[in-house]
Structure 1
Amino acid sequence: MIRTRFAPSPTGFLHIGGARTALFSWAFARHHQGQFVLRIEDTDVARSTPAAVQAILDGMEWLGLAHDEGPFYQMQRMDRYKEVIRQMLADGHAYYCYTTPEELDAMREEQRAKGLKPRYDGTWRPEPGKTLPTPPAGVLPVIRFKNPTDGVVAWDDLVKGRIEIANAEMDDLIIARQDGTPTYNFCVVVDDWDMKITHVIRGDDHVNNTPRQINILKALGADVPLYAHLSMILGDDGQKLSKRHGAVSVMQYHEDGYLPEAVLNYLARLGWSHGDDEVFSMEQFCAWFDLDHITPSAAQFNTEKLNWLNAHYLKLADNARLAALVKPRLETRRVVVTETPSLEAIIGLYKERVTNLNELADAAEVFYIELTPNAELLAQHLAPEAKPALADFIAGIKDVAWEAPAIGALIKQCIGTHGLKMPKLAMPLRVLLTGQAQTPSVDAVVALFPREQVLKRLAAAV
């Protein structure tokens, strides 16, 4: 069975790069009717926080990337890691190293001065016929993995192709610190082994970790998973993604009014393609997704494209669903949403004119608040010759059927009587009712308001 995993470190929020990794791992498992595991790699106790864990879980839930197993927490698996380390010590695959951090720093400085690659020199590495130094008193040892010294580590990366690293390029990795806590690279190996992960899909910042992890897996007699390393995501300007353009919490996209299906659809196209298809559901994505069509080159984030996709999904979304998403946004502004005007009706009229839920809330807000139009804007659009037509309109709406066609007919009657063009009456109506010069069809906008509210807002102008 195909088994993938997403294993974020809770030292910050779930950002776009991590979300894409999660999406690709999830979709690959779904495509193969496999299982998707969520693992929280929280061994960095100093930087991991409960808030960051919750942010990851919230982001995954908002995106709808449901896991089949987990979440597993590495800090809850310490006994298992220590058990494996004891076995590796017994089997000769690991050893105690008493080199202090200060000695290691001095060693590396000396190597740099000689033009050598800085690395641990193997002082405490046991070898046949070698006599080891006497362990110094009062020094707590670390535990190092006894990395092979010859040959190469090679794997066929499912994105980047064949990668080979000479074992001579790597020194002996610390797998347990002085206080006995296992290190990240070791915990990852044991987790992937125990959880029977078949495919590791992750960012290419992990490529350098891969040969070390493969060597440890081989030392344990474990199956080596297949690896797929995803290239980085660049910002709109072609630079490494920063907080200015995308490297923010996934939940910030929620706050900014994006729909999860738009974010997912956009992420799916960051470095992967299916012909010329741009818009597709997650069901389609899972049916199509493979690792063969992931590009090994960096993907570029495009805010404009994301906004276009979000606007597309807003148009397709059910009005009741959008109303449920917009109402809390209005409530945070202390706007009381009443039964009339109908929030769903407002959304139905405006959703094709906006790119996110916050803009939809902006449009809806004017229907529920006390509104005083900008005097300059009103003066710009309410010409003296339009005031008689406006007075006729106010008189007419007291009895007209309260629906857009009848209101539209009344507007046409009023401008016809006074020999005006449509904008001469429509524009001041928009400004008086919504405070804005640009709205959907003015008769439809008028019909959304209760009759009494329209009369109240228009009365101030005549």
Structure 2
Amino acid sequence: MTQKIRTRIAPSPTGFLHLGTARTALYSWGYARHHGGEFVLRIEDTDVARSTQDSVDQILASMKWLGLEYDEGPVYQMQRLDRYREVVDQLIAKGRAYRCYTTPAELDAMREAQKARGEKTHYDGRWRPEPGKVLPTPPAGVQPVIRFANPKDGAVTWDDLCKGPITISNHEIDDLIIMRADGVPTYNFAVVVDDWDMQISHVFRGDEHVNNTPWQINIFNALGAPLPRFGHVPVILGDDGQKLSKRRGAVSVTAYEEAGFLPEGMLNYLARLGWSHGDEELFTREQFIAWFDGSHLSKSPAQWDAAKLAWVNAHYIKTIDEQRLASLVVDQLKRRGIDSSVASVARTVPLFKDRCSTTVELADWVAMYFADVSPTSEDLSAHVTDVVKPALPTLRAKLEAAEWVKPAIGAAIKETLAAHSLKMPQLAHAVRVLVCGRAQTPSLDAVLELFSKETVLSRLQVA
């Protein structure tokens, strides 16, 4: 490739960073990194009524958490209004755009009449200059919108990176508004000017934008600007088979961080929602960059699978640096009002991490070391029985005298079992309920060793 590869992600700050947008960001970032190119973050904030700073902050936080570092940006469209107006004036001067004074009421009446005639609804071009056409007198006090004079004939064809060749007739599209009456550009116009100015070479985005592409290509051509390559990736479907969206219960990227997922797990899972490299299911960021060349993109919608995400994340819970994992668990405990330290949590992580798919689950396990436990009445009645109760003072005494290491703790348990003719499950379940607040844990001696001796003796004293 002779052209410098430059990709972008351009979220609208009207809510959280959607999972589909995060996947598109990943593909755009990965493609740029694969080719030694550059990745741009653009904030498309021209929807002034709905854009918020909170949304911008969440988008930036999501990108940072995912590790999708950008080489340029964030660029804000609302800071580029003079540039859009300059380009609009150029199009008007070239006869490729025009002022339209049609009122909303007139547009509604136009569409109703078209529906009544069984026609497709579209703008009828009443303000479009044509040779020999006499335009109405502009109404006083009405600020016009600017419309793009879309070609009337021919078709728009492009070779989509994901879908292959696509052709849409110009008869299917009308003269879209490119600038509102208040001087703010519309999406399809601003995105072209931005991609042109920022020298974007490749555009990855959701396939809901396929129908916007002909307008955009025609505007690029009208400006004499080079066309980027487009790749429209299929939507992500939820468990119900419907499009995963903000309106259908999808949560933000940052919510997955709070729920205990790791960026490595999320990136790995998102990458496989519409792309593959052979049968590889688990791979590092470095492998993804090496493999993602824009090919092998799926043409079919991907199905969100929470269980698969949990499985992928569990892999990274097991394999990441334990100090970092402990730090993440400390953060989870802090959200619960539980004080701990990385050093103390790091002692517990190896024993429980293989049982967990998120840091929330890991925090559920290790919280018993840093906060009081509250066994349920059901567990107490089921396991701290009259048969077991006499053995608990014996065990407590033996533990008090024992060196606080796993072999000595195990020996104290075995001696107690022998002294009271109990089986291991009988005593172990009772001790777990009292000390850990739950009846099931890993090996009892290993679990107890991680507590202070004083804590274990105190909790056994309750019995």
Q: Is it true that 1:96 corresponds to 2:127 in the alignment?
A: no
CA distance in 2, matches of 1:413, 1:189: 78
> 2:165 aligns to what?
162
C-alpha distance after superposition, 1:213-268 (max 9, x if no partner) = 00000000000111000100001232222569862111110111111111111101
Q: How does 1:316-355 map to 2 (within 5 A)?
A: 316-337=319-340, 342-355=344-357
CA distance in 2, matches of 1:127, 1:339: 73
1:332 positional shift: 2.5
CA distance in 1, matches of 2:261, 2:180: 43
> 2:129 aligns to what?
126
**Which of 447, 454, 457 is equivalent to 1:452?**
454
**1:338/1:368 contact within 8 Å kept:** no
Distance 1:170 1:447, change over 3 A: same
Any gaps of 5 or more consecutive residues in structure 1?
A: none
**Which of 200, 203, 206 is equivalent to 2:203?**
200
Q: Is it true that 1:236 corresponds to 2:239 in the alignment?
A: yes
1:100 positional shift: 1.4
> 1:376 aligns to what?
378
> 2:407 aligns to what?
405
CA distance in 1, matches of 2:431, 2:94: 85
> 1:114 aligns to what?
117
Q: Which range moves more in the overlay, 173-182 or 197-206?
A: 173-182
**Which of 49, 70, 82 is equivalent to 1:67?**
70
C-alpha distance after superposition, 1:113-137 (max 9, x if no partner) = 1011111111111122222222222
1:398 positional shift: 1.6
Amino acid at match of 2:155: V
> 1:135 aligns to what?
138
Q: Which range moves more in the overlay, 317-326 or 380-389?
A: 380-389
Q: Which range moves more in the overlay, 445-454 or 122-131?
A: 122-131
**2:11/2:42 contact within 8 Å kept:** yes
Aligned CA RMSD, in angstroms, stands at 1.6
1:38 positional shift: 0.4
1:409 positional shift: 2.2
Q: Which range moves more in the overlay, 2-11 or 128-137?
A: 128-137
1:317 positional shift: 2.2
Amino acid at match of 2:119: L
**2:62/2:254 contact within 8 Å kept:** yes
**2:326/2:342 contact within 8 Å kept:** no
1:435 positional shift: 0.8
CA distance in 1, matches of 2:35, 2:275: 17
Any gaps of 5 or more consecutive residues in structure 2?
A: none
Q: How does 1:241-390 map to 2 (within 5 A)?
A: 241-242=244-245, 247-337=250-340, 342-390=344-392
SS of residue in 1 equivalent to 2:65: helix
Q: Is it true that 1:150 corresponds to 2:153 in the alignment?
A: yes
**Which of 403, 424, 427 is equivalent to 2:426?**
424
SS of residue in 2 equivalent to 1:456: helix
SS of residue in 1 equivalent to 2:41: strand
1:417 positional shift: 3.4
Q: Is it true that 1:34 corresponds to 2:33 in the alignment?
A: no
1:149 positional shift: 0.8
**2:207/2:232 contact within 8 Å kept:** yes
CA distance in 2, matches of 1:421, 1:403: 22
> 2:86 aligns to what?
83
Q: Is it true that 1:46 corresponds to 2:52 in the alignment?
A: no
1:359 positional shift: 1.6
SS of residue in 2 equivalent to 1:72: strand
Q: Which range moves more in the overlay, 281-290 or 417-426?
A: 417-426
CA distance in 2, matches of 1:104, 1:412: 86
Amino acid at match of 1:401: E
SS of residue in 1 equivalent to 2:217: helix
**1:144/1:176 contact within 8 Å kept:** yes
> 1:18 aligns to what?
21
Amino acid at match of 2:78: M
Aligned identity (percent) is 61
**1:236/1:245 contact within 8 Å kept:** no
